[in-house]
Structure 1
Amino acid sequence: MPEVVIVGAGPVGLFMGLLLLQRGHHVRILERRRTRSTRSRAIGVHPPALVHLARAGLADELIDAGLRIREGIAYSQRREVARLSFSGDANFPFILAVPQPVTEDALERAVLRLDPSAIIRGVDVKEIDDGDGRPVRVLAATESGGLDLSAHVVIAADGAHSRLRQSLLPDLPARTYPDSYIMGDYADHTGHGSSAVLYLEPPGIVESFPLPHGVRRWVVRLGAPDPGSTAAQLADLIAGRTGEHVDPASNTMLSAFDVQARLAKRMVHGRMVLLGDAAHEISPIGGQGMNLGWLDAAALAPLMGTLLTGDTVQARLDEFEKRRRRAALRASRQAGINMALGRPLPAKAMTARNALFAAALAVPPVATLVERRFTMR
């Protein structure tokens, strides 16, 4: 019987598994998909997460595979508005851009080096039975039939649509936002190098982030959910708002999304724990969700002995929940601010708003505060 079953082999579940294996725990990670996704959604790794990745022995590998973003530049109507340095952290003076499949590959290889049997794919968890102090029973469907596992602790890292969260908190409300986006990756011919760029335009914001191997991600705010735009249509939208021309034939990823948020009041439910998006779904704008999940895992790993032995030491678990919920609230508020800054404004109002924005960033303490918010420090 494994000590811990983790549901979900995305970045958060894999990192949680790695930390527990490094501490000597017997872990099984269950994943519904037969193979890893090749779609690159989460790309930004922030300095606090890099600290824990370094302790786990993975930071150097990811830094070598990624691209260091050291500054952000804001433009509006073809004119530069302001610049913001991301170099405030002494150890990691940058935000690291790494395609999600690269990150997951590094995490999975690290897990399998410690236990080649740790990850079980093609497992669709159907039911969890937490039996009053007895081991937790995990019932799942597989291609060959069923799987019946027991574990001392079950961790839900199965994302924003977590079935485990739905079973524990069926009435948890979602907050919706009036924001829809479409994003795509194209060959980068902008000349912006390793800088992140925000285009604060009257019809709505356009964000662009550099990726390794000469690729740039574009994220465009829409006035309504995307009806199914093509790579060429997104390229036209980018050109119309920013004046930047991207080659539709170079597109390697296209994805549209709307925004909602959820925050569970409790992350620890007896011997079941919610982590990452399963516990706190926030807007992807700002790129903090994956990092929040990693920081959840880093905070939970030292407490696992507490849960495994049944010695609750409730004060420590309460403090864990309090700190992680506070971090999620802060990140959610920052994402809300980011989205508000990107909403449409009349040209004159936007010009005035941008002037105030630039004046504020010219004040060093304000720039430092904004940099800390963007980099999660």
Structure 2
Amino acid sequence: MKDIDAPVVIIGAGPVGLATALVLGRHGVRSVVCEQFGGINPHPRAHVVNTRSMELFRAWGIADAVRADAVDPAQAGTILWKQTLAGESLGRIDFAEGPRGPLLERAHASAEQLASCAQDRVQRHLLDAALAQGAAAVHYDTTVTEVADHGDVVDVTVEGAGGRQTLRTRYVVAADGATGGMRDRLGIAMDGAPVLGHQLNIYFHADLSPWTRQDPALLIWLINSVSPGVLIGMDGARRWTFQRSFDPAVESPQDYPPERCARIIRDAVGTTELDVDIRSVGSWTMTARTAGTYRSGRVLLAGDAAHQFPPTGGLGMNSGLADADNLGWKLAAVLSGRASEALLDSYERERRPVAVDNARHSMLNAVKMAEVGIGPGTAAVAARLESPDPEVAAAERRRIAQAVPLQRPHFDALNQEIGYVYGAARWADGAGGAPSSTVDRTPIALRGARLPHAWVERGGERVSTHDLLVPGFTLIAGPGGAAWADAFADAFEAFFPGSSARPEESSARPEGAGGGMARRTVVIGRDVTSPDGRCLELLGIGADGALLVRPDGHIAWHSAEGSTPLSALTDLLRGAERPAR
């Protein structure tokens, strides 16, 4: 096509939009990112970076930077319930003191661990990485006013500092958030629960160490009749957010000037002597909805534009990052001309069921939180805690103390983070139907599942199996699997002639359409060794077997299927859907 400004235009420079640009850049695809606001929003919102997202960040080269900005794990692993911050403790969850089994499962399941890093810091690292690639142009203060899909190209009209202009592109990714508007303009409806409530989010700086020094925690739920809500430590020191319910029918964030917000924070802490620096105030709607479709012609939805969950479970931003990883490589493959347009339909087939289940999981968590006084019943619980009858107050404290430990699955659902399987008739925990969010199992090597992590040794260095992967396709074979390596090379050459076996030599077409794609073959025992002997077992390939890993780290083919790498690549790149074994 001529006169293409960029193969992909991305609407929204939040975490998902920037992640999409970063993934496209890894495949040599240029993109233009349009963001209506003037820069990264300094108001931190999401903060949970789950295990899978940290694995993606590891592959993208930003895990160390995100980890450096994250809350100290010792603090991030503790969740408290109190009446006020200065008041009596009602209960706690400390993951370091939890059952040994789940702790070991987390430790062995991945080379990375869940982290808490404020969204604005995450965005900064994604932006820096995308710009360093040189494949993405990010334009702030640029509003998309119209998208015209002509069937073979899309014209995107934008207004910015340079006035109005039209960008011509091949595909548009709408990552403009829950309220961005593009989904509604496309006429895509949302399925799911009605509005569950509205929350006010106050971002402030203050020294809360007199109350947190001896008992630091990431989340502190406060149940009282004056200023109930939850304190979230964004940096483990001075950056905090406080979230509380509010009714947009009778008030708005503009009704909360700094003086009022500072008073709310002092009441929540339980002191009149506290310097509070209010930085910003926002609001958000709690709901659990998923877009009926993720695609309208050449426009595809990602992140909160495609799905919204209650924050109970921390799955919102993380689901969007996985959307970006899934969609990015598929766009690159289609733009290269080596994959069928139908491959893009597999994006919805794979990611939408995960979003639906994440919405289910988050809803169950939100409902269960009512047992510990969080939700519509907060006022009644607070009244009992503050009852002038000491027996009523003591009974309520005992009830909450017993209910708090039962909330642990809300904050520790490893299977929800890494156990989903694309296109599977069963999920990684072995149960029928939807995945279980309460039973975490060792990840298994199943087509559609994320590649299991195992420690191996390469050139004298201890690395994860995830570190063996390239942005293209990776074949991992057992010691006797050389024949699979030859079959893989032949299959790959059929689809990507001239592509390199080394990622650093992978080329792209001048227009950034990803003409080549990286590949790598790893033979266990030759290229890497397994000192503990567990790698072959975890990968389920045996001495003579092999598996093929897609660019997004999910398994595309397994030698136990009785097929070949060629048939796997054919089905995958044509967008064919086959039942999982």
TM-score > 0.5 by shorter chain:
yes
The percent of aligned pairs where both chains have the same amino acid is 23
- CA deviation map 1:31-68 (0-9, x unaligned): 22343333322333222111101100011111112223
2:116 aligned residue: 96
Question: When the two structures are superposed, what TM-score results if normalisation uses the length of structure 2?
Answer: 0.57
2:40 aligned residue: 36
**Aligned counterparts, 1:113-152, within 5 A:** 113-115=132-134, 118-132=137-151, 134-152=152-170
**Aligned counterparts, 1:70-85, within 5 A:** 70-77=76-83, 78-85=88-95
Matched, 1:164 2:170: no
Write the distance in 2 (CA, Å) between the matches of 1:322 and 1:152.
Answer: 21
Unaligned runs of at least 5 residues, structure 2: 97-102, 385-391, 419-581
Q: Is the 8 A contact 2:30 2:136 kept in 1?
A: no
Q: Is the 8 A contact 1:179 1:339 kept in 2?
A: no
SS in 2 for 1:13: helix
Question: When the two structures are superposed, what TM-score results if normalisation uses the length of structure 1?
Answer: 0.84
**Aligned counterparts, 1:184-333, within 5 A:** 184-187=203-206, 188-189=208-209, 190-192=211-213, 195-199=217-221, 201=223, 203=225, 206-212=229-235, 214-222=237-245, 224-225=247-248, 227=252, 228-241=255-268, 243=270, 247-284=274-311, 286-308=313-335, 309=337, 311-312=339-340, 314=342, 317-333=344-360
- CA deviation map 1:118-140 (0-9, x unaligned): 223333212212222x1122122
Higher normalized contact order (CA 8 Å, seq sep 6+, divided by chain length): 1
More strand by share: 1
Q: Displacement, 1:374? A: 10
Matched, 1:9 2:9: no
Q: Is the 8 A contact 1:181 1:258 kept in 2?
A: no
Write the distance in 2 (CA, Å) between the matches of 1:191 and 1:223.
Answer: 27
Write the distance in 2 (CA, Å) between the matches of 1:284 and 1:246.
Answer: 31
2:492 aligned residue: none
Q: Which moved more, 1:25-34 or 1:78-87?
A: 78-87
CA distance 1:350–1:179, shift in 2 (3 Å):
farther
1:360 aligned residue: 406
- CA deviation map 1:93-140 (0-9, x unaligned): 342223x332222222211112276223333212212222x1122122
Write the distance in 2 (CA, Å) between the matches of 1:220 and 1:148.
Answer: 40
The one-letter code of the counterpart of 1:93 is Q
CA distance 1:310–1:131, shift in 2 (3 Å):
farther
SS in 1 for 2:144: strand
Q: Which moved more, 1:271-280 or 1:118-127?
A: 118-127
SS in 1 for 2:256: coil
CA distance 1:178–1:124, shift in 2 (3 Å):
closer
Q: Displacement, 1:152? A: 1.6
Write the distance in 2 (CA, Å) between the matches of 1:116 and 1:229.
Answer: 42
Q: Which moved more, 1:50-59 or 1:83-92?
A: 83-92
Q: Displacement, 1:334? A: 3.9
Q: Is the 8 A contact 1:283 1:335 kept in 2?
A: yes
CA distance 1:195–1:246, shift in 2 (3 Å):
farther
Q: Displacement, 1:157? A: 0.8
Greater C-alpha radius of gyration: 2
Q: Displacement, 1:371? A: 0.9
Q: Is the 8 A contact 1:154 1:273 kept in 2?
A: yes
Q: Displacement, 1:299? A: 1.5
SS in 2 for 1:251: strand
Q: Is the 8 A contact 1:175 1:261 kept in 2?
A: yes
- CA deviation map 1:163-183 (0-9, x unaligned): 321221255478312343333
Write the distance in 2 (CA, Å) between the matches of 1:44 and 1:246.
Answer: 31
1:376 aligned residue: 417
Write the distance in 1 (CA, Å) between the matches of 2:263 and 2:396.
Answer: 23
- CA deviation map 1:290-334 (0-9, x unaligned): 2221111112122123442394464x5454324422332333334
CA distance 1:148–1:223, shift in 2 (3 Å):
closer
The one-letter code of the counterpart of 1:153 is Y
CA distance 1:275–1:357, shift in 2 (3 Å):
same
Write the distance in 1 (CA, Å) between the matches of 2:8 and 2:318.
Answer: 22
Write the distance in 2 (CA, Å) between the matches of 1:183 and 1:286.
Answer: 20
Q: Is the 8 A contact 1:29 1:118 kept in 2?
A: yes
Write the distance in 2 (CA, Å) between the matches of 1:30 and 1:310.
Answer: 28
Q: Which moved more, 1:112-121 or 1:56-65?
A: 112-121
Q: Displacement, 1:266? A: 1.2
1:364 aligned residue: none
Unaligned runs of at least 5 residues, structure 1: 362-366
Write the distance in 1 (CA, Å) between the matches of 2:11 and 2:320.
Answer: 14
The one-letter code of the counterpart of 1:5 is V
CA distance 1:373–1:76, shift in 2 (3 Å):
farther
The one-letter code of the counterpart of 1:191 is T
Q: Which moved more, 1:85-94 or 1:75-84?
A: 85-94
Write the distance in 2 (CA, Å) between the matches of 1:194 and 1:23.
Answer: 42
Write the distance in 2 (CA, Å) between the matches of 1:270 and 1:177.
Answer: 32
Write the distance in 1 (CA, Å) between the matches of 2:349 and 2:135.
Answer: 35
**Residue-pair matches, total:** 369
CA distance 1:351–1:13, shift in 2 (3 Å):
same
